[in-house]
Amino acid sequence: MGGNVFKNNNNQALTQRINQTDVKPTLAWLEELLPGLDIQGNTLGSTGIKDTSGDLDIAVDSSQLSKLQLITRLQQWAQSHGFKPEEYVKQTGAGVHFKTPIAGNPSKGYVQTDFMFLKNIPWSKFVLGAMPANSQYKGRERNVLMNSLAKALGYKLNQIAGIADRNTNEIITDDPDQVAKMLLNKQATRADLASVESMLAALAKDPQRDAKLADFKAHMEREGLPFMESTDANPYTEVSDVNFLARLRDRIVNQGMIALVEADQNVGGRAKGIEHIEDLVFRKGSRGVQEALAVIDQLKDNTKKSTTVKWDGKPALIFGRMPDGGFVLTDVAGFTAKGYDGLFRSPKQAVNLLAKRDREAEALGKPAGRVEALGPMYQKLFPMLQAAVPENFKGFIQGDLLYTSKPPEQAGNLIFKPNTIEYAIPAASKLGQEIADSDVGIAIHTRYKEPGAAKQALGRPSLNPVDGLLLMEPIAPSENVQPEDSKLVKQLRSLISKNGGAIDGLFNPSELRAQQITDLPKLAVDFINYLIHNTGHDNSEVGNFDAENIVTDFFNWLKVTVTPKKYNNIVEYTQSPRSNMAGLTAAFAAFILLHDIKMDVLQQLDRQVPGQEGWVVTVPGGMVKFVNRFGFTRANRAVNPKE
């Protein structure tokens, strides 16, 4: 069974296992596609060693090539061959995945290539190296055993950098021979760390043997695997033969976790919608800051291509045609409904379902005004949108309703307030003239092939003009921008260069689990949201805050937010080792700098298209939003507290 990232609508894999004889030609083809990358010299695990491989695992030096750069190059290849980039290139967790034609020949089928971005490739190749052919254990157990040895001696195995001091998180060495001497004995070499069996043999006369093996034995018991020291015994007799990297990949894809390179995990969770760029430091640690900087860097040349206005419309509507040509207009709840038909084919059907929702709400003692509020909207929009969508149109379009009557003009601006933001669009502008000629405005932005399908880029849909209807396609700025205050970017790069390790050490998932505070990074995001919609920092700019004061406020907020036990655990964790407090202060400092850089860029964009809620920047790795959240988001929360 091959990699499992690329699947069709029936959940069937679109890639296959690759024969050993095809591995080298495929790696050579990848090197031609990606000049400058040492592909063949940086394979990981058992790639090319066994008769067949489920995928190709490749190490990439993260200091030489960013994820964004690799994704862009792979997507360009897909586009140049007439393929849809999203069907060939995907990003999950710490990796970039590429549906690779075997030996460069699609007729042979495709294999999944996993590019893993690593900071210290020689060390990572040692840690992720294939197990000797005569070993009865898997690579996962080898790493668990090395971790067990390190912990008993006051060290920790940093799987992307080397052996670290457990108290300070400082890397002591990344030399495998030196590590062997530290963990096993003074005569040991890297060969003694090659397998579980070789490590057990080196520990045969070690007086600390039981203590060193304690965590490893506990792991084997949890996994239901017998602890065996004989090379003739196979602890996996009843266990599926899946190698360590495959297990890692499955966890990345299916569980959103990275067990091996834990410093690269999305430790702070994910936003419900599009992520605020400054929150990436809490979501992903130093990696999140690097991704944010990559987004900011690309604006210099690509703002006009990557950036569009973010409208604050309500409600979100979806309209289009079914395979039989029937027109549908509904909301997001109806489009994604299970257990009932929410795809309205007439205004009457829409009103009937709204009435049903009202009855259900009344029975629960909740407000019930959907028919009164939304019924007239469906009556007005249905014929207009039905006329706008050609009969041969395939699929559906999503948009946000901005107004259903012509906006009034005040002081030279057209005024409308669909949700929480009041827009003032200059009447003399091109957009203002289009709005003045319409009675209904909808900002369209997303396309779906069919109900239940994944979101797609809107593109340029061919729709019919309809009197009084403005279907507003995404609005891009007219000029590229970059931060005017370059010192802020330099300060952020310097901060991460000096303190990135401390931030990642603070947010290390295994350490957080050990202290029972796995939600610490998410709590930092929750605290920022608390500042946004509560008094105390009312409408203040985050940039006016001092990082150390924010940390003090954070602990004051924690004290009344989490349980006493969790609060004490967090206090103890941030005090020892001392680097954890440095990491926390640096994380908030990075948040402030990212916010200031964002506001710098946001002000330039707003001068080009004034009066907007904010902007969305789309790059190959995903989307982030630039919003004055201490203005807009606070107002939004006041009106929509559950959102």
Confidence (pLDDT) at 614: 87
Q: What's the whole-model pTM score?
A: 0.53
The answer to whether the beta carbons of residues 16 and 110 sit under 8 Å apart is: yes
Pair (509, 586) in one structural domain: yes
Residue 169: both structure tokens together: 């998180």
The CATH number of the domain holding residue 38 is 3.30.460
9: in domain? no
Q: Give the residue from 419, 449, 472 where a domain finishes.
A: 472
The alpha-carbon radius of gyration of the chain (Å, integer) is: 28
Whether residue 5 is contained in a domain is answered as no
* Domain match, 488 and 589 both: yes
Is the domain of 320 the same as that of 463? yes
User: Measuring CA to CA, which residue among 448, 441, 372 is closest to residue 407?
Assistant: 441
Rounded to the nearest 5 percent, the helix, strand and coil shares of the chain are: 45, 20, 35
Looking at the fold, whether 267 and 184 belong to one and the same domain comes out as: no
Say how far apart CA 136 and CA 331 lie, in whole Å.
56
Q: Determine the distance from the C-alpha atom of residue 86 to the mean position of all C-alpha atoms in its chain, rounded to a whole number.
A: 15
Distances (CA, A) of 544 to 281, 541, 555, 614: 19, 6, 19, 21
Q: Whole-angstrom Cα distance, residue 321 to residue 328? A: 6
Regarding whether 428 and 304 lie in a shared domain, the answer is no
- The residue segments making up the domain with residue 204 are 129-251
- Do 536 and 608 lie in a common domain? yes
CB 80, CB 138: distance < 8 Å: no
Packing angle of the helix pair 579-608, 486-506 (nearest 10 deg): 140
Residue 1 falls inside a structural domain: no
Which residues in the chain show pLDDT less than 50? 1-2, 230-233, 235-265, 535-544, 632-643
The predicted pLDDT at position 546 comes to: 57
| Rounded alpha-carbon distances, angstroms, from residue 624 to 104, 606, 641 | 34, 17, 22
User: Do 570 and 527 share a structural domain?
Assistant: yes
Does residue 608 lie in a domain region? yes
Tokens of residue 270, six digits: 């994910």
User: Maximum distance among all alpha carbons in the chain?
Assistant: 88
The alpha helices in 485-542, defined as continuous H runs, are: 486-506, 509-514, 520-533
Residues in Cβ contact with 510 at an 8 Å cutoff, skipping those fewer than 6 apart: 262
What's the pLDDT at 298? 93
In a domain, 4, yes or no: no
Domain presence at residue 13: no
Beta-ladder partners of 403:
441
Do residues 464 and 522 share a domain?
A: no
- Which among 451, 463, 460, 474 is positioned nearest to 318, based on CA atoms? 451
Packing angle of the helix pair 632-639, 520-533 (nearest 10 deg): 90
Q: Is residue 10 part of a domain?
A: no
Same structural domain, 146 and 233: yes
Q: Is residue 456 located within the same domain as residue 314?
A: yes
pLDDT at site 317: 95
Q: Output the six-digit token pair for 272.
A: 């419900």
Check: CB of residue 621 under 8 Å from CB of residue 291: yes
pLDDT number for residue 2: 44
Q: Which of 118, 152, 185 is the last residue of a domain?
A: 118
Please report the pLDDT score of residue 619 as a whole number. 81
Give me the number of domains the chain comprises: 4
Q: Is residue 589 part of a domain?
A: yes
Q: Which residue has the tokens 């966890």?
A: 251
Domain match, 144 and 102 both: no
Same domain, 607 and 486: yes
